[in-house]
Chain A
Amino acid sequence: MSQTNRISGGQIDRSKSLRFTFDGVTYSGHAGDTLASALLANGVRLMGRSFKYHRPRGPISAGSEEPNALVELRSGARQEPNTRATVVELFDGLVAQSQNRWPSLSFDAMAINDRFNTFFTAGFYYKTFMWPAAFWEKVYEPIIRRAAGLGSLSRLEDPDDYDKGFLHCDLLVIGAGPSGLMAALTAGRAGLRVILADEDFRMGGRLNAETLGVGDQSGADWAAGVVAELASLPNVRMMPRTTVYGAFDHGIYGAVERVSDHLPVPMAGKPRQTAWRIYTKRAILAAGAIERPIPFENNDRPGIMLAGALRAYANRWGVAAGRRVAVFTNNDDGLRTATDLQVKGVDVVAVIDTRSGGPLLAGIRHLQGAEVIDSRGRLGLTEITVRSAKGAVETLRVEALGVSGGWNPNVSLTSHHRSRPIWRDDLAAFVPASDAPAGLIPVGAAMGDLSTHAALRGGAEAAAQVVADLGHGSARYDLPKAEDAPVAITPHWYVKSDKGRAWIDQQNDVTVKDVKLAHQENFTSVEHLKRYTTLGMATDQGKTGNVLGMAVMAELTGKSIPQTGTTIYRPPYTPVSLGALGGRSRGKDFKPFRLTPSHKWASEQGAIFVEVGMWLRTQWLPRKGETEWRQSVDREVLATRKSVGICDVTTLGKIDIQGTDAGAFLDRVYANTFSTLAVGKCRYGLMLREDGMVFDDGTTARMGPSEYVMTTTTANAVTVFRHLEYCRQCLWPDLDVQIISTTEAWAQYSVAGPNARKLLQKIVDQDISDAAFPYMGAGEITVGGLRARLFRISFSGELAYEIAVPTRYGDAMIRALVEAGREFDAVVYGTEALGVMRIEKGHVAGNALNGQSTALNMGLGKMVSRKKDAIGVLMSQRTELVREDGLRLVGVKPVNPAEPLKAGSHFLKTGAAATAEHDDGWLTSMVYSPHLGHHIALGYLKNGTARIGERMRAVNLLAGTDTEIEIVSPHFIDPEGERLRA
C-alpha cells in the first residue's frame, strides 16, 4: 500500500523501506519511523479501543505519554502487550496487533458499553457489584476483566535474555533535548564523566520536531552535530533508547536500555533489555514538557491529537495526520502547528483560539474567542463543530485536529522522594520544587523554561555549576542563538457542555462528567478523585490528564489549583518489564544449587537429590530393583545399623575459632560450657537466641589450647556466623578471638555403624582404636599422608566418626570409602536414612528447632549453665518458659504397630473433643523405623516427661486421621549409648 499521508522532509531515511503488518495488513514505512508515524503515513488513524467504553482511538501524542495507541507487538513467545505505537521503532518485518477489541478493531462488539455509558460512570463497579459479596471473585470480576482490559500475554516463556548492569559517572543527564545536549556538551568538554540517556532512539528531543533554528542551523542539524561531538568524547557515554525510570537514594538512578527492541530478534549474545543501576555524583533532569489537551465533547476520535504531536509527525517524520487539519489552542505554541503545517502544504482549515484579541495569524483563518464544541466520525475524525466568539456554530470538515491546552513541565523524577511540585500562574503549570532529590537539578522545559534559548542556557549553566562543584574549575560554553518567545497562555481547562462527554484521561475513559460526579459525591481530594474515577492510573499514569482533572475539580470546588492539591509521581516513569528487573536471575539461575563434594559420584550412582538450603544433597540411593523410596531408605538404615554406612555431611556449617579467648567466647555464645573442654575432645553445643529460644545446635571440637572447630546446622551456617561476628564486634570487642567460615574448605563424611572403625582404619594413617581415639575424640590425622580431621561423633546412635579432608579430595575420599567398605557391605545413605536414624535415637532437628522452643522443651534443660553469662540464658529462665507442665520432647508409637502416624498431628487425651482447648501438643517428626518394624515419632507434649507410658490419640484434622498412640521415651534405640562408645 502507498503511504498516502507522507509529505516532504523529516528525519527518516526514504532510501530504506521497511515492511510491517498491523492486524494482518501489510504496510511499508521508512527507517526512522515509529509504528505510529508509519501507520499515520499509511492513512491509518484507528489503532486501539478504549479501556471501558471500547471507543475507537488513535494516537494523541508522539511520545511515551501516549494513553491510546497501545498494541501487542511481535508474535508467538515474543509477543508483548501494551507497547505504545508512538515509541515503537519501526523495523522490517514488525508485526503488531490491536488489543482490547473483539472480533476486530473496526467492529468491536464490546462497544455496546459505549451505548450504556450512563451506567458506566465513575464508581460504577463499587456501586453495582456490591452484593452478594461472594459473587465478586467468582462472577463479577472475571466478566469485568474480560470486557475491560489491556493487552494479553502469550503465556509462552520469553526466549530472550535480560541483563543488569552498573554504571558510575560524575553527571547523568536525563533527556537529550536542547537543555540536555547543552548540559552534556558543557560537562563533557570540561572533562567530567558524563552519561547522556534519552528514551528516544534519536537524540535531540523537541529540536527534531520543530522548525526552530539553533545558531545558523536547523534545530535538528544542530542536535546531530552536538550528538556527534559528544559521541567522540571518551568521557561521555551516549545511551539512546534508555529510559531513566526512577530516582533512588544517594544519587542512584534506575534505567532500562532497550538494547534489541528495535530488531526483529536480538543479535546473538545480546540481551533484549538491560536494567542499569547508575551511580551519580549529580544528575541533570532535562526531560522536557508534556502537552495537555483541552477536553471538549467527543474529543477522543482518531485524528484528534495534541498540537505538538501533529506538528512532530509533520516535521520529524514527514507525515500529515490528515490532509485537511485544524488547530484548537489556548496558547501561542499551538499556533506553531498551524504555521508549520501550512508551510508543509497541508490545508489548514482554521485555527480555533480560545483567547480574544492579539495579532491574527497571516494567511490562516484564525478564529479568536472560539471553541471546538463537538466532533463527528465513527472510526476517525471527519468534522468538528466550532462555536465562534459571537455564538455562531459551524461545522468544518477536517481529518485531523491539533489541540493545545498548554505544556506541563515533566516533573516526574523530581517527586520520586515525595517532593511536591509548585504551581506557576504565568505558565499555568506545576514546576519542580526546590526539595527535589539531592543532586538532581531540573533544567529547561522540565523546570518551566519553555523557550529554546532558555533551555540551552539552563542546561549550560547547570552543567557549569556541576563542573565547579565537583572541582573541575570553571566550564566555558557558548550559547548559540535561538528563539526566546515567552509563554503566552490563557488557561481554558475544558469546553463546557451540558450533555456530552469530554475526555480528560483517555486511557481510563475518565470524562469531565466523572470528575463532576466525584465532586457531587464528595470525593474532592486529589487522592480520592484518582481512586474514585481511576484518573491517572494504568500504563500512562496520567501524563496528559492529571493536571486537567485537578483543574476541573478546582473549578467545581471554587478553589485554586494549588489549593486543590498536587499530584506526585512514583517510579517507574514508564512501565518496566519484569524481565528487565529479573535480569539473569531466572529459572534455575534464580537460586543456583551448591553441590557437595560427593555429588559427581552420587550422580553416577543414580542418586535422588533433595534441596537443603541452597545445597543439593543425596536423599537416597536406589539400587537395582528398588521401585519405592522406602525400599532404599529401609535398606540404608538396616545396613548401617548392621554393618556400616557412609553419608556426606559437608553441608553442615563449619567455623574455625581461634585466639586466647576462644574458650571464653564459646562459653558466652553457647548455653553450655566449652572452656573446660579438653584438647582433642568434642562436645554437643546448644546455642540460644537472646530471647531464650534455641537458635542452633552442633558439635564443637577443641583442636588446640586456643583453637576450636564449630559445626552448625546446614540451614543456619550463614546466620550463626553473622551472629558470632556480632557478638565478637558489638558485645565483646576486646576478646582475643578470630573466626572464619570453613564450610567450603572441608569435605566431610560420616562413617557410622558397628564396622565404622574397621573401615576407617583401612584408610587413615593413625591408630584409631577406642583407646587411642575414644568416644567424642577429635584431632588432626592424615590419610595417605594428606592432612585430615577426625571427630568421633554420632548422629545415628551407632559407633560413628566424621572424617574431613580438604574439599579438593572430597571426590577421591567418597570413592576410597566406598572401595574400603566393600568387604563390610557398606552403604552410602542419604538424608532420609539420616532422618530415620536420628529420630530412632531421639535427636532433635529442624522441625523441633522451630524458633519457639527452649532447651527445656527439647529435654536439654540441664545443658543450660546458670554459672556464666551466655546469650539467652537469663531469658530462657522466665517463669512461663520453665513451667513444670510445659511442653517436653517425647517419643510416640502407635498402639497398633500396623498403623501409620501423621506428622503435624495433635495430641489429645482419649475421649477429648478435637478442639483447641484440648490440645496437648503436637507431633514434630515421624518416620517408619525399619529397625522396630513400625512407625515412630517425636513430639512436644504438655508435661510430657511425666506422661511416658500414657495412651492417648494423635489427631490430624487435615488428613482426617485419629490414631491411638502410646507416649514413650524419645530414645527408641540404645538409650544407654552403648553402641556409640563401642
Chain B
Amino acid sequence: MIINHPILGPRDAQEFVYLGDAALIDRPDGLTAGNEAFHDYVYLRDNPAGVHRELWYHEQGDRSWLVVTRNTVTHEITGVELARDVARSRGRSK
C-alpha cells in the first residue's frame, strides 16, 4: 500500500505503524467522564467493511501521526490528514 503523506508525499506503508480506529482521538476527560464512557472509549470499536478512518504512525519517517481514510474492502485510500489537524478540528487543544 502507498500512503500519501500530507508533508512527505507518497510513502510505502512499510514505513508506518498501524494503530487503529481514529476515534481514539476523541478521548474523554478522565476527571469528568464516567467509567461507562471510558469503557466504550477503551474497548469498543467499529469494524466496518468499507470506509474506515484510522491512525497510522510514520515511525520510519517524520514521526507524524496520520489519520488515513481507507476502504477496508478495496484498500483504496481517499484521504490522509495530519492527526494533529484532525484533533484540533475535533476541539482538542491542551
Contact = CB atoms under 8 A, between A and B. Distances in A.
A104 interface: no
A878 interface: yes
B42 interface: yes
Nearest to B38: A874
A733 B33 contact: no
A691 interface: yes
Contact of B1 (A250, A729, A870, A878): A250
Interface in B1-42: 1-2, 17, 19, 24-25, 27, 29-31, 33, 35, 38-39, 41-42
Contacts of B30: 869-870, 873-874
Contacts of A729: 64-65, 82-84, 87
B63 A869 contact: no
A722 B83 CA distance: 14
B2 A725 contact: no
Contacts of A718: 59
A870 B30 CA distance: 7
A874 B33 contact: yes
B87 A730 contact: yes
Interface string B62-81: 01110000000011110000
Contact of A725 (B35, B63, B82, B87): B63
Contact of A733 (B2, B38, B84): B84
A722 B64 CA distance: 10
A730 B1 contact: no
Nearest to B4: A250
Given A249-B1, A733-B93, A734-B88, A869 B31 contact: yes
Given A249-B1, A691-B42, A874-B30, A730 B65 contact: yes
A405 B31 CA distance: 75
Interface string A846-875: 000000000000000000000011100111
A559 B92 CA distance: 61
B57 A726 contact: yes
Contacts of A726: 19, 55, 57, 65
Contacts of A875: 35, 38-39, 42
A870 to B, nearest CB: 7
Contact of B35 (A279, A661, A878): A878
Contacts of A661: 94
B1 A734 contact: no
A730 B25 contact: yes
A77 interface: no
Please classify the interface of chain B as helix (H, G, I), strand (E, B), loop, or mixed, using the class held by over half of its residues.
Answer: mixed
Nearest to B3: A250
B48 to A, nearest CB: 18
Contacts, number: 78
A729 B74 CA distance: 28
B63 A733 contact: no
A731 B25 contact: yes
A878 B36 CA distance: 11
Interface string A710-736: 000000001000100110011111110
A730 B76 CA distance: 24
A729 B22 CA distance: 12
Nearest to B73: A418
Given A690-B42, A868-B31, A869-B31, A730 B59 contact: no
A733 B59 CA distance: 18
A213 B37 CA distance: 75
Given A732-B94, A733-B92, A249 B42 contact: no
A252 interface: yes
Interface in A241-261: 248-252
Contacts of A874: 30, 33, 35, 38
Given A249-B75, A733-B87, A725 B65 contact: yes
A294 B21 CA distance: 53
A722 B59 contact: yes
Contacts of A734: 88, 92-94
Nearest to A166: B12
A458 to B, nearest CB: 26
Contacts of A691: 42-43
Given A722-B59, A733-B87, A874-B30, A252 B93 contact: no
Contacts of A248: 1
A726 B63 CA distance: 9
A252 B42 contact: no
A874 B93 CA distance: 21
Given A250-B2, A722-B17, A725-B65, A732 B93 contact: yes
A875 B27 CA distance: 13
B2 A730 contact: no
A733 B88 contact: yes
Contacts of A870: 30
A784 to B, nearest CB: 35
Contacts of B82: 729
Nearest to A719: B17
Contacts of A732: 92-94
B30 to A, nearest CB: 4
A583 to B, nearest CB: 13
A691 B43 CA distance: 9
Contacts of A250: 1-2, 75, 77
Interface string B47-67: 000000001010100011100
A438 B27 CA distance: 37
Contact of B2 (A252, A417, A873, A878): A252
A560 B15 CA distance: 48
A928 to B, nearest CB: 41
Given A729-B84, A732-B94, A875-B42, A722 B57 contact: yes
Given A250-B1, A869-B29, A874-B38, A731 B57 contact: no
Nearest to B31: A869
A691 to B, nearest CB: 5
A731 B74 CA distance: 30
A730 B26 CA distance: 9
Contacts of B74: 417
B44 to A, nearest CB: 13
Contacts of B38: 874-875
Nearest to A435: B74
Listed residue (B27, B33, B41, B82) with the most chain A CB atoms within 10 angstroms of its CB: B27
Given A730-B87, A733-B88, A725 B93 contact: no
Nearest to A736: B94
Nearest to A279: B2
Contacts of A722: 17, 57, 59
A868 B29 CA distance: 10
Nearest to B77: A250
B34 to A, nearest CB: 9
A869 B94 CA distance: 12
A144 B1 CA distance: 41
Nearest to A251: B2
A633 B82 CA distance: 51
Nearest to B85: A733
B42 A735 contact: no
Nearest to B2: A250
A396 to B, nearest CB: 55
Contacts of B55: 726, 730
Nearest to A734: B93
A279 B9 CA distance: 14
Contacts of B93: 732-734
A249 B75 CA distance: 7
A263 to B, nearest CB: 32
The 5 closest A-B pairs by CB, nearest first: A869-B30, A250-B2, A734-B93, A733-B84, A729-B65
11 contacts: A249-B1, A250-B75, A279-B2, A438-B76, A664-B94, A722-B59, A729-B65, A732-B92, A734-B92, A874-B30, A874-B35
Given A250-B77, A252-B2, 7 more contacts: A250-B75, A251-B2, A438-B76, A691-B43, A722-B17, A729-B83, A874-B33
Interface of B: 1-2, 17, 19, 24-25, 27, 29-31, 33, 35, 38-39, 41-43, 55, 57, 59, 63-65, 74-77, 82-84, 87-88, 92-94
